[in-house]
Amino acid sequence: MTEHNCAYCDFDEYDIIDKNDFGVILPEPNALSKGHSVIIPLRHISSFFDVTDKERKSLLTLLELARHELQLRHQPSGFHIGFNDGTVFGEKAAHLHIHIIPRYEGQSLKLDERWGMLSG
């Protein structure tokens, strides 16, 4: 099910890094580090706590695939993984998406307003 004007429903097929029956891995357009990607369910849903068991398992499988692919491509030192749930952060997209942000030695991670952090 897609929602009108939802960037996570209306993604370009050419951007898909990997996919399964319930979700896809896409590059994050506003990346915080090289390789920053998002895992999204194909069904338009806003809360991680409302996904089905099959969707949850498939999203976690995609998260593992994204981690493996990022390790092969970019050899990061680690990862920051997270998602927002609810409207407390002023999230513009009401479509669940899980961030996997590669972390590199000597590079600090500056979280922005998407994570409830103020810039400046």
Residue 61 resides in a domain? yes
- Alpha-carbon span 101 to 42, nearest angstrom: 21
- Alpha-carbon span 46 to 93, nearest angstrom: 8
Q: How many domains does the chain have?
A: 1
Give the H/E segment covering residue 41. Answer: strand 37-41
Domain holding 30, by residue range, is 13-98
Structure tokens, 62: 């995609």
Q: pTM here?
A: 0.85
pLDDT at 120: 47
Kindly list the averaged pLDDT for each block of 10 residues, start to end, along the chain of length 120: 75 94 94 94 94 97 97 95 76 81 87 56
pLDDT at 108: 81
pLDDT at 72: 96
List the CATH number of the domain containing 46.
3.30.428.10
